[in-house]
Structure 1
Amino acid sequence: METTELKSAFQVDERGYYGTFGGAFIPEMLYPNVEELRRNYLDIIADPAFQREFRDLLTDYVGRPTPLFHARRLSDTYQTTIYLKREDLCHTGAHKVNNTIGQILVAKRLGKQRIVAETGAGQHGVATATVCALMGLECIVYMGKIDMERQKPNVDRMHMLGAKVVPATSGSQTLKDATNEAMRHWINNPVDTHYIIGSVVGPHPYPDMVARFQSVISEEVKKQLLEKTGRSTPDYIIACVGGGSNAAGAFYHYLDEPTVRLVAAEAAGQGLTSGHSAATTALGKPGILHGSRTILMQTEDGQVVEPYSISAGLDYPGIGPLHAHLYSSGRGRFFSITDQEAVEAAFELSRLEGIIPALESSHALACLPKLKAASDEVIVICLSGRGDKDLAAYTAYLDK
């Protein structure tokens, strides 16, 4: 994460907006918490002692830099050059730990004693429980009851790490509802608790703070790609987007590089017209969700539409405000990927390269046949997590 400021039309402005998206739409009781964070986060992050501790932990604990792997057999299949940014090799098995390391260091400098978090696929919950164990802080994770059932290995990991996992039983009992419950907890415990949001969503400054911590992904890609190809800019970067933290990190240092095409994969679930989807840009419109103005799926009278995806991490009715801005401005290209397409892409990578991806990452991989990239072009795919947690879903597909 570079400390120098990027002068970009796609960086957050002083009011917390990306274009017309962002801001902090919060209840009065939450204002002191968010304002304390907003006033302090940039100074904390820029402090040399913070940077040293953050970098040391990324290296010695997380295992960074993660490799940029030339997927030769996958490249041959699509007649182009494909690199995988191996975030699945991070400690805990996904990119989420980059952000939880950063945020828990911020929380400690703010004097917080308890951490609350939300999780969908469980990877952010595991990453939060991990850093709480490392730092000796109490950890409470809210997770949709349905997600707890379909991501049981991650629930077990959180328990082993000492976290309290609380089921969210309202609504669709998935990520949206877990986020609601975590925010309620924070409102009721404003003094001693920090809320580690797991994606580039929520009220300002969360989308910017999370993107800064995840920007280590694109920072490394630039250096690694230069070493491997003689150029630091690929033709395409592909990442999945639910809230969109891995995509924000993969895109961050390329936002003002117009030759780099930013490609986001959303979860179309059982199809755009099925009523069982989470393809926000295809089905949504501007509105307020979890403290920011963004694009979200909603009814004519503004009620949030329940999302669906085979992937618990993409099962969210909105996207982060940065991604809403990338979509509305045309800077990003968004694909809707069905469950079927994602699972097929997962099996393809597994059998061509010996890498079993998370279902979330599989949505990004499923963009490859849609791109029709030229033979002389270079594609970087952010492989955001590993597929251990999704083996039950993959096995069920095999049994069909």
Structure 2
Amino acid sequence: MTSTTIYSQPDNHGYYGKFGGAYIPEMLHRNVAELQRRYLEIMQETAFQKEFQQLLTDYVGRPTPLFLAERLSAEYGAPVYLKREDLCHTGAHKINNTIGQILLARRLGKKRIIAETGAGQHGVATATVCALKGMECIVYMGEKDIERQAPNVARMQMLGARVIPATSGSKTLKDATNEAIRDWINNPVDTHYIIGSVVGPHPYPDMVARFQRVISEEMRWQLKEKTGHALPTHVIACVGGGSNAAGAFYHFLEEPSVQLVAVEAAGHGVDSGLSAATTQLGTPGVLHGSKSLVMQTADGQVVEPHSISAGLDYPGIGPMHANLYASGRGKFLSATDEEALAAAFHLSKTEGIIPALESAHALSVLGKLNLSAADRVVVCLSGRGDKDLGTYMKELDKYSQQ
């Protein structure tokens, strides 16, 4: 790791170090090349930025609060702040990106929007902005995730989206992404694919990170306002594909004094065979259009992941994060299903905030970081727990007594 390394942006070919690029079938070349050519130009237009910022303020509800969790802070011996992305309209950070991409799609003349979703938050956010802008919306979701995230499926349908189940493989996020890509190949002219995370072919990882960087942009001035310091000592975020982490890390990537802590889903345990800890279990490979770390067999077949949280149940990781791991710039930890559940119930009873299961993974590592009173810790609370109440209800007897 050198001071001249740029972690926040890819090179001209879409690579973060050794990871990234655009590995796409010929049918998608026109669409992806158009995005590569025009995304930065459109995003930098004054009119685009004005509309984007206005919607973030008046529709999404930004800036989201940076909340000092006093009881958690006392427990861990360091100031612990929660970046409250759970308070965004639709209940998660995902709306930051879908607002940006719907405005981009309209400027590219697209009429039809497709998306993939795991936990359902990206699907809800996509359906929301399509309703706002009067555009057709198709959301692909794994059959297993449709069952475990039923409230979000109902929200998408109420918003006018058509939810199509992915019935192959593990019937989760990976398979929903496969189906969305097939749709895009079959409808390349009028359709824009709103990818929900920092994955996929270039320019998606960079584009999504740029739309999510508002999270860390706000963190800097909010922390300065509260503490006199713009820089935290630690930023903690859960990572599946990694969009909330990309947004939370973005404005600190070139600040070596800030420890970036990414928390993956260990499922039943990293070595259990039922895990989604990609940096621990993955090897370099191509998944969904980019080169990154992928959970795969020796002959390149994708290994089915497992996590209790649908949003982290993915066998890969975004190329930005793969580079942070490989370079040593990021500290990558993992949390089991049990640890995430315990953290979710603990935050609920300690601070009166019910987190999404994804966010609970990030919270679970606070006790593993040897924190001190001189530290300034920010945890990205990426989503609220309403969607996970079905899972939490099954665990009430076990955790309500703790």
- What range is the shorter-chain TM-score in? over 0.9
Query: What's the offset of the Cα at 1:26?
Result: 0.5
Q: Distance in 2 between matches of 1:74 and 1:250?
A: 20
Which residue does the alignment assign to 2:379?
381
TM-score, normalization by structure 1:
0.98
Which residue does the alignment assign to 2:213?
215
What does 1:296-311 align with in structure 2 at a 5 Å threshold?
296-311=294-309
Whether the 8 Å contact between 2:285 and 2:293 is mirrored in structure 1 is yes
Query: What's the offset of the Cα at 1:8?
Result: 2.5
Greater alpha carbon shift after TM alignment, 158-167 vs 7-16? 7-16
Residue 280 (structure 1) aligned to one of 264, 267, 278: 278
SS in 2 for 1:50: helix
CA 1:109/1:7 → structure 2, altered by over 3 Å: closer, same or farther? Answer: farther
Q: Distance in 1 between matches of 2:71 and 2:8?
A: 35
Query: What's the offset of the Cα at 1:372?
Result: 1.4
Query: What's the offset of the Cα at 1:9?
Result: 4.1
What does 1:49-68 align with in structure 2 at a 5 Å threshold?
49-68=47-66
What does 1:149-160 align with in structure 2 at a 5 Å threshold?
149-160=147-158
SS in 2 for 1:204: coil
CA deviation digits over 1:86-116, x for unaligned, max 9?
A: 0000000000000000000000000000000
Query: What's the offset of the Cα at 1:10?
Result: 3.8
TM-align CA RMSD: 1.0
What does 1:261-272 align with in structure 2 at a 5 Å threshold?
261-272=259-270
1:113 matched to 2:111: yes
Amino acid at match of 2:77: Q
SS in 2 for 1:333: strand
What does 1:70-109 align with in structure 2 at a 5 Å threshold?
70-109=68-107
Which residue does the alignment assign to 2:351?
353
Query: What's the offset of the Cα at 1:398?
Result: 1.7
| Unmatched runs of 5 consecutive residues or more in structure 1 | 1-5
Amino acid at match of 1:390: D
| Unmatched runs of 5 consecutive residues or more in structure 2 | none
Whether the 8 Å contact between 2:7 and 2:324 is mirrored in structure 1 is no
Amino acid at match of 1:290: H
Query: What's the offset of the Cα at 1:203?
Result: 0.2
What does 1:164-203 align with in structure 2 at a 5 Å threshold?
164-203=162-201
Whether the 8 Å contact between 2:8 and 2:253 is mirrored in structure 1 is yes
Q: Distance in 2 between matches of 1:18 and 1:272?
A: 26
Q: Percent identity?
A: 73
Query: What's the offset of the Cα at 1:232?
Result: 0.4
CA deviation digits over 1:246-295, x for unaligned, max 9?
A: 00000000000000000000000001121100000111111000000000
Q: Distance in 2 between matches of 1:160 and 1:12?
A: 38
Q: Which 4+ runs in 1 deviate beyond 4 A?
A: none
What does 1:216-255 align with in structure 2 at a 5 Å threshold?
216-255=214-253
1:123 matched to 2:113: no
1:327 matched to 2:325: yes
* Count of residue pairs brought into register by the alignment: 395
CA deviation digits over 1:334-375, x for unaligned, max 9?
A: 111000000101111101100000000000000101111112
Query: What's the offset of the Cα at 1:7?
Result: 8.6
Amino acid at match of 1:277: S
Amino acid at match of 1:182: A
SS in 2 for 1:177: helix
Q: Distance in 1 between matches of 2:144 and 2:236?
A: 28
Q: Distance in 2 between matches of 1:396 and 1:300?
A: 37
SS in 1 for 2:110: coil
Amino acid at match of 2:355: P
Amino acid at match of 1:261: Q
Q: Distance in 1 between matches of 2:5 and 2:56?
A: 26
Q: Distance in 1 between matches of 2:150 and 2:179?
A: 20
Q: Distance in 1 between matches of 2:161 and 2:265?
A: 29
SS in 1 for 2:197: coil
Query: What's the offset of the Cα at 1:239?
Result: 0.2
Q: Distance in 2 between matches of 1:378 and 1:367?
A: 15
Amino acid at match of 1:329: S
Greater alpha carbon shift after TM alignment, 209-218 vs 368-377? 368-377
Whether the 8 Å contact between 2:7 and 2:320 is mirrored in structure 1 is no
TM-score, normalization by structure 2:
0.97
CA deviation digits over 1:153-202, x for unaligned, max 9?
A: 00000000000000000000000000000000001001100000000000
Which residue does the alignment assign to 1:3?
none
Which residue does the alignment assign to 2:140?
142
